[in-house]
């Protein structure tokens, strides 16, 4: 089920990022560390009253400016607005109602989307009285908030959840057993070209201009008796949106696609190598616990000798070292070189994702691993394993009951993961490894 998207917008310095952090309960805006990559963090999942939704922070809107930087910020915000299901407009009680607020409201009205108005920075009784001025914007209820202190945020979220699309309207209609594959990556790496090559016909617009495809489109096909749904996410704009030009928001379509996908195809432009934006998208794939196949496109354009592929794989391994389990394919959508490997690999990875290890076999491997390499110890206390099991698949989740979770060093966890992958593969698929202390094991 795809999560609905809520965009936080408003003019500069009204507290949008503070509200973003308050809602998600963490200080994620603007930068967060992920294994192997640092990226601008403008997205997070939030939950309120049992509804999960994606939240996006945006830069301050300045309309009509000739400044190039402000223009790019405006493009980013308009991309978020175009993708959003609900818009939270943040204003500033301290500075009062401004002409900029009115201009922004005029823009937002044209989207015909639910707009929730937050009058922020209402920390004092005097400021809360000034909130009445904002009713003049004609957006209905004004929610008085102090994102800094958290007051009024619960009431604001109640309104946001009430405005979200019905959950049942987001359910996918694919038949059981359908493999859902999302084609993701930054702009102009050949996502639509790859889809066309897989379908063996021109079903999508293909152009050398970044952002040609306007909307994510699902296409279903039969592959060796297996029903497959391909989710194309090439475009970063919707019709009527402003000219493209900001890479940061190209992840929006990838995020929505990944919510609905079993396997992601992360496309890399062979002529450019792994860029920071490629690593950003890979970071989102990891965070979403989705299976992944790295597809290096435009391989026909790379000068090659006998060592080229090996050198390129080493480059990918270094730049995307946080997903070392991902298979890497070298293809050309234009010449159809190795195109047949794409669906074959994606379907195989999906099967690996659904693999279940018997409890007996998993515990045997744990004991073998402990005998092979002693677990870590601290202050004379050594890590002990009591029991291991796999309670779920999709994604595969392994739970290890131990004497003290504080003794579980990341290097030993990696050692166990490598041993599990040596035995059972789990190609292209993340393993969620959970450790529970002795007190939980006895319950």
CA 370 to chain centre: 35
**Element containing residue 440 per DSSP (H, E):** helix 438-441
* Domain ranges (residues) in the chain: 5-169, 176-353, 359-441
Stronger pLDDT, 130 or 175, i.e. the higher one: 130
pLDDT, position 87:
93
Name the token pair of 12. Answer: 């500069």
Given the candidates 3.30.70.20, 3.40.50.300, 3.40.309.10, 3.40.50.970, the CATH classification of the domain at 176-353 is 3.40.50.300
pLDDT at 414: 92
Neighbours of 180 (CB within 10 A): 22
| DSSP, residue by residue, 292-360 | EEEEEE-GGGS---TTHHHHHHHHHHHHTTT-TT--EEE-BTTTTBTTHHHHHHHHHHHHHHT----HH
Q: What radius of gyration, in Å, describes the C-alpha atoms of the chain? A: 24
Whether the domain at 5-169 and the domain at 176-353 fall into the same CATH topology = yes
The confidence score (pLDDT) of residue 251 equals 55
253 pLDDT band, cuts 50/70/90, is low
Q: Which CATH class is domain 359-441?
A: alpha beta
**Does pLDDT of 185 surpass 70?**
yes
Q: Residue 283 pLDDT more than 60?
A: yes
pLDDT per residue as tens digits for the range 303-317:
988 899 999 999 999
Alpha-carbon gap, residue 269 to 182, rounded angstroms = 17
- pLDDT tens string 136-182: 999 999 999 998 888 999 999 999 999 998 765 444 444 567 888 98
For the stretch 29-64, pLDDT in tens is: 333 333 332 223 367 778 888 888 888 887 777 776
The structure's pTM equals 0.65
At the topology level, CATH places domain 5-169 in Rossmann fold (3.40.50)
């Amino acid at each position: 089920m795809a999560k609905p998207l809520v965009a936080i917008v408003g003019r500069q310095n009204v507290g949008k990022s503070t509200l973003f952090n308050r809602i998600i309960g963490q200080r994620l805006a603007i930068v967060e560390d992920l294994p192997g990559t640092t990226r601008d963090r403008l997205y997070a999942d939030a939950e309120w009253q049992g509804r999960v939704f994606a939240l996006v922070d945006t830069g301050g809107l300045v309309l009509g400016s000739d400044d190039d930087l402000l223009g790019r910020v405006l493009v980013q915000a308009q991309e978020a607005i175009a993708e959003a299901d609900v818009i939270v407009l943040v204003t500033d009680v301290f500075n009062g109602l401004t002409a900029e607020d009115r201009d922004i409201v005029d823009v937002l009205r044209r989207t015909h989307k639910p707009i929730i108005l937050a009058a922020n920075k209402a920390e004092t009784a005097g400021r809360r009285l000034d909130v009445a001025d904002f009713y003049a914007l004609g957006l209905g209820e004004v929610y008085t908030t102090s994102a800094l202190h958290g007051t009024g945020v619960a009431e604001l979220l109640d309104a946001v959840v009430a405005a979200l699309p019905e959950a049942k309207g987001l359910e996918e209609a694919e038949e059981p057993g359908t493999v859902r594959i999302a084609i993701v990556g930054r702009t102009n790496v050949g996502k639509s070209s790859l889809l066309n090559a897989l379908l063996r016909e021109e079903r999508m617009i293909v152009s050398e201009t970044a952002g040609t495809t306007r909307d994510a489109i699902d296409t279903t096909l039969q592959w060796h008796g297996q029903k497959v749904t391909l989710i194309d996410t090439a475009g970063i704009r919707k019709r009527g949106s402003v000219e493209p030009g900001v890479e940061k928001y190209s992840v929006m379509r990838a995020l929505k696609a990944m919510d609905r996908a079993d396997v992601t195809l992360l496309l890399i432009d062979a002529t450019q190598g792994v860029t920071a934006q490629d690593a950003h998208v890979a970071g989102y794939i990891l965070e979403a616990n989705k299976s992944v196949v790295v597809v290096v496109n435009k391989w026909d354009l790379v000068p090659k000798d006998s060592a080229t592929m090996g050198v390129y794989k080493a480059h990918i391994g270094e730049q995307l070292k946080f997903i070392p389990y991902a298979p890497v394919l070298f293809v050309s959508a234009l010449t159809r070189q190795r195109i047949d490997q794409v669906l074959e690999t994606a379907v195989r990875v999906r099967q690996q994702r659904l693999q279940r290890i018997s409890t007996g076999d998993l515990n045997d491997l744990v004991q073998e691993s402990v005998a092979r390499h002693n677990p870590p110890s601290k202050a004379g206390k050594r890590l002990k394993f009591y029991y291991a099991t796999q309670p779920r698949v999709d994604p595969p989740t392994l739970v290890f009951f131990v004497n003290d979770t504080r003794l579980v060093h990341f290097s030993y966890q990696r050692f166990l993961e490598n041993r599990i992958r040596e035995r059972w593969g789990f190609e292209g698929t993340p393993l969620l490894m959970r450790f529970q202390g002795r007190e939980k094991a006895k319950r």
